Amino acid sequence: MLERSVASHIKTDLNEKMVLLMGPRQVGKTTLARAIYPDSTEYLNYDRLDDLKIITGTAWKRDCDLLVLDEIHKMKKWKSWIKGVYDTEGIKPGIIVTGSARLDTYKKGGDSLAGRHYYYRLDPFSVAELKKHMSPDEALESLLKFGGFPEPLLKGSETAAKRWRNTNIERIIRDDLQDLEKIHDLRSIATLVHLLRERVGLAVSYQSLAEDLQVAPNTVKKWIGVLEALLVVFVVRPYSKNIAKAILKEPKIYFYDTGSVIGDEAARLENTMAVSLLKRLHFITDTTGDETGIFYVRDKLKRESDFLTVRDGRPEYLVEVKLSDGNPAKQLEYFGRFLKPKGIFQIVKNLQRDVDSGGIKIRKASRWLASLEA
């Protein structure tokens, strides 16, 4: 089985508190949870009638090392219920609660579990996780072709990946979306997803999308927010020390599933970089508590760099992504002078050798992504 970076951290934290594990649908949350104690885990799913009886009757095994509770956010007042279990029984067995959008929504909606849990996000596979099983070049090519979700990645078939993708997005729109937000125009939501798949790497105009969909711009903005909550897409906004000002500017939209991108190899490479950087930032925040963020950089003269990561309020990595251009990008030098990030990188997929040029580190994409650790 392919190893996940967060697994050992979760296992350690289970000795102190319960763990809430969130991630996109089909990203491998259940597989990860059950692999932590493979021979001593009780897995219960609230959607199964037999498991439901065990859950509501608190009749699970007490002599196992781990209890995994899936979909219990569907239980009324589930937070109070799990709080009562934790306060009564402590951390033996350890408890992992898994979920996707709804779990994140409830996490933001209240704090009845304060002091009783650690929170982890599971993102798609990265080159850094796959490097133990294949070369960095092979790992990057697989992610570009199939995306980082386990099923299509492991099958290694473009046809199987397309079939999986169609079924997965259909279930999200039909089931998860209605569970989170009552939206009746599902056809327009599906059309919006398709339009966003074609616009990866571009600043998104709500007005333009609204005209295509024949709805109001605020409706488009709301729908993108729902897709973000459903962990279908994530939003990268332009960097600004004035947060309110940054939110008003046009964002870029990337997909958790790189295989969803409709476009050339450059768009897929940029999306892969976005997911990889976001995954690293999630890992840092979830394991250290540092505040992190991912942005793009653009000025009034429309000079632009693809990504800027921020850690505890300070610019960290300034990153430009290229397919083949090994010449240092002028905008990196320009933005680097006043942002003063920890590192300035030009990441190139087709690069013969790494070069340092005037403070800019030009690196081969597969090798750099393989080394991208916290």
Residues 6+ apart with CB under 8 A from 344: 317, 318, 332, 333, 336, 359, 360, 361
Structure tokens belonging to residue 151? 């099923």
What is the residue-wise DSSP string for 53-111? HHHHTT-S-SSSSEEEEESGGGSTTHHHHHHHHHHHHTTSSEEEEEESHHHHHHHHH--
**10 Å Cβ neighbour count for 238?**
20
34, HSE (Cβ side, Cα atoms, 13 Å): 11
Q: What is the pLDDT tens value at each position of the chain, 374 positions in all? A: 688 999 999 999 999 999 999 999 999 999 999 999 999 999 999 999 999 999 999 999 999 999 999 988 888 888 889 999 999 988 889 999 998 766 655 555 556 788 899 999 999 999 999 999 999 999 999 999 999 999 999 999 999 999 999 999 988 888 877 766 677 788 999 999 999 999 999 999 999 999 999 999 999 999 999 999 999 999 999 998 754 555 558 899 999 999 999 989 999 999 999 999 999 999 999 999 999 999 999 988 889 999 999 999 999 999 999 999 889 999 999 999 989 999 999 999 999 999 999 899 999 999 999 999 76
Q: How many CB atoms lie within 10 A of CB 311?
A: 17
**pTM metric for this prediction:** 0.93
Domains of the chain: 7-121 (3.40.50.300), 127-370 (no CATH)
Question: Would you say 17 and 114 are in contact if contact means Cβ atoms under 8 Å apart?
Answer: no
Diameter of the chain measured on Cα atoms: 65
Radius of gyration of the chain (CA): 21
Helices then strands (H, E): number in the chain? 17, 13
